[in-house]
Chains A and B, each alone.
Chain A
Amino acid sequence: MAKPKVATTSLAGCFGCHMSLLDIDDRILKLVELVDFDKSPIDDIKEFSGRCAIGLIEGGCCNEENVRVLQDFRKHCDILISVGDCATMGGIPAMRNNIPLEECYAEAYLDGPTVHNPSKQIPNDPELPLLLNKVYPCHEVVKIDYHLPGCPPSADTLWEALVALLSDKPVALPYALIKYD
């Protein structure tokens, strides 16, 4: 029987949740016995190669590209999990939600003490994608089946949740594995 597939992505996150997944250390060798990795930064699979059992999402949505990727994951994954505080509630990047974006721009490209910008030009090339007005948690964009809190969730939290789901058992995490820091 073919192994179930797992896909992962990082949207507006810092990659800390992916690092925490790597913190399962040598259990990663056990994990690749249980599953195949589909579209993910750990391999070169650029587009979904088929139906996935589980999709892990790190980060919220800060631009249109994030939304497109998230919708693509929803379409291809049976179970979609918001991993970490940015995916579940926007996290630190959502601190920009109360500040006019022009001010963020000005601080970085006009007013900063090291800025050298004689033409007063703010990066505006059409190559640069459109940002959303706010940073959104994933469940405000698509249906999310599970939320794993933490910044990041610990390796044990990720491991226990994945093993439970892959063996068709309920995800019953002990209290010690549910942390919001």
Chain B
Amino acid sequence: MVATNGMKRIVIEPVTRVEGHGKVTILLDEKKQVQQARLHIVEFRGFERFIQGRPFWEVPVLVQRLCGICPVSHHLAAAKAMDWIVGGEKLTPTAEKMRRLMHYGQFFQSHALHFFHLASPDLLFGKPGDPLSGFAADVAIRNVIGVAAKFPDLAVQGVMMRKYGQEVILRTAGKKIHGTGAIPGGINKNLSITERDFLLKDIDQMVEWSRSAVKIAKDYTVEHLEKLAPFGSFDSNHLSLIREDGAMDIYHGNLRAIDSVGKKIFDQVDYQRYLDYIGEEVRPWSYMKFPFIRSLGPEKGWYRVGPLARVNTADFIDTPEAEAARKEFMAVTKGKPNNISMAYHWARMIELLHSIERIKELLHDKDLQGTDLVAKGERRDEGVGLLEAPRGTLFHHYRVNKDDQVVMANLIVSTTSNNEPMNRAVAKVAKDHLSGVEITEGLLNHVEVAIRAYDPCLSCATHALGQMPLTVELVDHEGNLVSTRSKN
């Protein structure tokens, strides 16, 4: 959709995985009613092409540069694919547990960052009983510094929780950002006793703060349920990895997809065969593709991923406090899948608690001090690596030639799967809140609040510190630009 008559074709010379700047366009009819609203992703980098020719062992450290917020996810998904190439997909216990520790550390820091640094300014400044008033709070305080001024204890908790997650990553990956811990078939270090004891020092404080974070998110959601339930919401399918016994597992499992009322579309699918189940539609107005479940087609097969989808698809969580929190969450929708966009925040905090429970368990596991770090087997020329990144199911797929060079790479990043859902959320909020009115900065933020619930990695990044560069354009039915509001 374009506002002016300058409909000339732009020759864009690509290159990127989709991340970076987002843009929303909204189309109005002659009665000022919203006719169409879209989230466009406007960056392209071309990783799939330019890593062709690179040696495969370089890939886990190279592709994580897609994203500085959850680099561990790309690092590990690529390593899991390369495990298949070297025939080392059956990891040693030390290797698997070190990778898990790294991944739970990443979940912990990423979820804390999103909730405290990014989302909380939308959630904390509303008038009692009116959460939507918080979405339009004074722009001068609607940021993490404003949160620190009004709720200093909470801000410090957020900073220290993120810090703890980063310390876990440092001790498993060697660096806080863009580390090197995972290699094809295993890992390159174990956890020393000194490192373990350092991480154990603060663990109980982190568990305590995680409990209180779940309570904040739960209380906020339950107290405002009536107003939050319709906000940017819609029924959808949900997809995630799941352990063989049906437990939530963010590092490894098989694919499960359910529909909006919980009926299974497929279950326990080996992800090496993901091509038979998932396709990606290309649309001309966004660099981000639109994934769908093949058996349902592009129209009906789109699905949600991330914390909400994972809590919906899981039969249970295998840590006690997170499982109790999950049961409370599911009770709100009487055990059926929760389709409320704003419920992502609560689900995310349940996973935060799950992550810290697992970190505590792992730190007491002596396998982390093991010395058998790498597994090898029969060399293959193709491998698929999947895991659950903080923002949802992440797909990495590579083919390698006999000279060890990558010849094909296919990446479906988490946020891509949420492309259609985020567009639905944007359209719903636009129709409900922008029809027939003048757009104010606060209303613009309503649209962002809906997008932000999905914690998109439009650049796992551009929205990183709270405010995505976002332009909202209002266009009348003749294509004239009526109003523009933007932030950058």
Q: Is the CB of B460 within 8 A of A113?
A: no
Q: Counting CB contacts under 8 A, is A117 at the interface?
A: yes
Q: Which residue of B lies closest to A40 (CB)?
A: B465
Does B369 have its Cβ within 8 Å of any Cβ on chain A? no
A173 at the interface (CB under 8 A from B): no
Is B67 an interface residue when CB atoms closer than 8 A count as contact? yes
CB of A104 within 8 Å of the partner chain: yes
Number of interface residues of A (CB under 8 A): 68
CB < 8 Å: which of A16, A28, A91, A130 contacts B10?
A: A130
B10/A116 in contact, CB under 8 A: no
Contact flags (1/0) for B256-289 with A, using CB distance below 8 Å?
Answer: 0000000000000000000100111111111101
Bound CA span A30–B11, Å: 47
B12 CB–A CB distance under 8 Å: yes
Q: A108 and B459: CB pair below 8 A?
A: no
Closest Cβ of chain B: how far from A27's Cβ, in Å? 10
Residues of A within 8 A of B280 (CB): 112, 114-116
* B222 contacts across to A, CB distance below 8 A: none
**CA distance in complex: A105, B14 (Å):** 6
Instruction: Report the bound CA distance from A63 to B287 in whole Å.
Output: 14
In the complex, are the beta carbons of A96 and B50 less than 8 A apart? yes
Q: Does A171 contact B (CB under 8 A)?
A: no
Check B285 against A16 for contact (C-beta < 8 Å).
Answer: no
Contact status B48-A112, CB under 8 Å: yes
Chain B 168-180 interface mask (CB, 8 Å, partner A; 1/0): 0000000111100
Query: A123 and B156: CB pair below 8 A?
Result: no
Q: Is A62 an interface residue (CB 8 A)?
A: yes
Taking the closest CB of chain B, its distance from the CB of A6, in whole angstroms, is 12
Pair A44/B40 contact, Cβ less than 8 Å:
no
B13 with A115: CB separation less than 8 A: no
Are A99 and B159 closer than 8 Å at their CB atoms?
no
Residues of chain B within 8 A (CB-CB) of A101 are 12-15, 46
Residues of chain B within 8 A of A181, CB atoms compared? 175, 178
Residues of A within 8 A of B463 (CB): 41
B279 and A127 within 8 A (CB): no
Contact status A15-B464, CB under 8 Å:
yes
Asked if A124 CB lies within 8 Å of chain B CBs, one says: yes
Chain A contacts with B in 1-40, Cβ cutoff 8 A: 10, 12-20, 22-23, 25-26, 28-29, 32, 37, 39-40
A13 to B20, CA, bound (A): 9
Contacts of A93 in B (CB 8 A): 15-16, 45
A103 nearest CB neighbor, chain B only? B49
Give min CB distance, B253 to chain A, whole Å.
Answer: 20
Which B residues, 1 to 34, have Cβ-Cβ distances below 8 Å to chain A?
Answer: 1-2, 4, 6-16, 19-21, 23, 25
Most buried by A among B11, B20, B291: B20
- Using known A-B contacts A14-B19, A99-B46, determine if residue A114 contacts B278 with beta carbons closer than 8 Å: yes
Kindly state the separation between the CA atoms of A39 and B486 in the bound complex, as whole angstroms: 13
Top 7 A-B pairs ranked by shortest CB distance? A16-B68, A101-B13, A15-B461, A104-B46, A96-B15, A125-B285, A117-B282
